Amino acid sequence: MLKKKSDTFPATKQFLAMVKTQYGQIIKELMSDYGGEYVDDNFINYLKDQGIKIQRSVPYIHQMNGRVERFNRTLNDKAQAMRQQACLPDSWWEFCVLHANYVYNRTPMRRLNWKTPSEAIDKEKPDLSHLRILGCGAYVFIPEEVRKNKLSPKSELMIFLGYRGHHSNMIFMRSPNNVVFTAATALFDEHMFPKCDKTKVPPVTRIQGEQEQEGPSLEVEFGNSDNSEPSTPPPFFPPSDNDDPHDDAGSQHQPHAPPPPGDAPGGAPGPGPRRSGRERTKPIKEGNVYPPGTSTDTDLRKKLPFISILESTPNSSDESSDTVNNDPAIAKLAAEGGASWYNYLLSKAVPYDELPDPLYV
C-alpha cells in the first residue's frame, strides 16, 4: 500500500525487479491513466530506459482502462463487505484491502480455467486451511519476552487483521492502545467479533465443513394404526327412491357429498390427502362397559348404529318409540347413553322401572 502518490516511482522500480528476479519475465508494456504520478519525468525516463512501451487512457474515460478499474472496484467491494461485517472502524481500511487482495489471489477464476491466480503463477495449489475471518477474535500467544512479568497471562484477546507475507505471519490489533501485533500462534473464535455490539453478533456463512443439520422432519401417515382412534369420512347421503333426477329446478334435493379424493375418475388424486384402502380396525379398550359399536365416540360425523331402546322395554308406549325412531338426535342420544340420556328420560317423566339397561344402550 502506498501512503503518497510520490511513492509510485520507487514502488514501480521494485515491482519490475521482483518480476524479473522471481519469475524470469520482462514487462514490455505499461498501461496507465493520466494521473500526475504517471506523467512524472523521472517515471517516464525510467520506463524508456528499460525499453517499456507506455500507453495512457484518455482523461475521464475509465472504460479505456477497464480491467484495472474493474479490479479496483472488486477489491473495494470485498474490503467494504469484510469491514462492515466485523464492525471495524474506517481507519482500518488498509488492512481490509490487503486481506481482500490476499483472498482474491486464492479464488478460482473462469478466465484461468477455474484456477487461482496463485496457482497460475506458482504452479502449485494454495493451501486454504489457514484462512480466517477478518476482524474475528483470537487468543494470541504472548512470548515470554513481551510479557510484563511472570504472572502475566500467556495469551490475550486480539482482533485478526490478515497476513503479512507468509500465512504463518499473522497480524493482530492489540487493545487497548491499538498496537499492531505480529504472531504465529493463536486460537481463533470466528463467531466472536470484538468490535461489534455484544447484543448483535453478525451472522457467519459457512464455506468449509458440513452444513448445519436441518430440523427433524415429521412424517404424516394418513390412515389408522392399531393404537389410534378410527377416523371416518364425512357422511354421505345417498339419494332415496322417491327422488326423481328429472324434477324441475324448483324442487330441492339433498346435496350429495363429493367422493373421496382417491376415488376420482382416472385414478388421479384429488386435492386432499390420499386415504389408505385397507380395512379399518376398531380398537378394543379394556374396561369398556359399552358393547362393540356403541362406545362413546367423540367423532360427531360417525353414523352410529342405534338400538331401539324403547322397543325392548315392555311398558314403553308407541308414541315414545315413534319419537325415538323418527328423531335422529334422540336416536343418537339413546345409542350413546350416559348422563345426557338419563336426563332426557327424566325430563319425559319416565318411571324408574322403565329405564333401559345401560349395558344395551
Give domain limits for the chain: 17-58, 72-189, 300-361
* Pick from 115, 118, 120: nearest CA to 105: 118
| Residue range 213-222: mean pLDDT, rounded | 47
Long-range contacts formed by 212-215: CB under 8 A, 24+ apart: none
284 vs 166 pLDDT, higher one: 166
Residues 160/135, Cβ–Cβ less than 8 Å: yes
Tell me which of 196-205, 311-320, 340-349 is least confident: 311-320
Mean pLDDT of 26-54: 92
Q: Across the chain, what does the average pLDDT equal?
A: 77
Classify residue 86 by burial, with Cβ atoms within 10 Å: 0-12, 13-18, 19+. buried
pLDDT at residue 50 is higher than 70: yes
> Which pLDDT score, from 0 to 100, does residue 336 have?
79
Across the strands, what pairs with 115? 109
Query: Per-residue pLDDT averaged across 294-303, rounded?
Result: 49
Residues 295-307 have a mean pLDDT of 48
Are the C-beta atoms of 233 and 239 separated by less than 8 Å?
no
pLDDT of 290 = 60
| Mean of pLDDT values over 198-218 | 56
State how far the Cα of 277 lies from the Cα of 279, in Å rounded to an integer: 7
Helix or strand holding residue 158 (H, E): strand 155-164
In the prediction, which pLDDT does 306 show? 46
What spatial distance separates the first Cα and last Cα of the chain, rounded to whole Å? 95
Query: How much is the average pLDDT of 279-294?
Result: 65
Taking the C-alpha atoms of residue 175 and residue 196, their distance in angstroms, rounded to an integer, is 15
At 256 the pLDDT is: 53
Residue 254: band (very low, low, confident or very high) from pLDDT cuts 50, 70, 90: low
**When comparing pLDDT for 176 and 244, which is higher?**
176
At residue 191, does pLDDT exceed 50?
A: yes
Residue-wise pLDDT tens digits, 104-123: 999 999 999 999 999 999 89
Q: What is the mean pLDDT of residues 205-225?
A: 51
Strands 137-141 and 53-56, by their bridges, are: unpaired
Instruction: Answer whether 159's CB lies under 8 Å from 138's CB.
Output: yes
Q: What is the pLDDT of residue 277?
A: 75
Residue 103: is its pLDDT beyond 80? yes
- The region of weakest confidence among 145-159, 163-177, 194-208, 266-280 is 266-280
Which pLDDT does position 294 carry in this prediction? 56
Contact between residue 196 and residue 202 where contact means Cβ atoms under 8 Å apart:
yes
Mean pLDDT computed over 210-217: 50
- If one compares 61 and 226, the residue with the highest pLDDT of the two is 61
pLDDT at 100: 96
Whole-number pLDDT of residue 249: 46
Least confident of 26-30, 208-212, 260-264, 279-283: 260-264
Q: Is 42 left (phi over 0), alpha (psi -120 to 50) or beta?
A: alpha
Predicted local confidence at residue 342, as pLDDT: 78
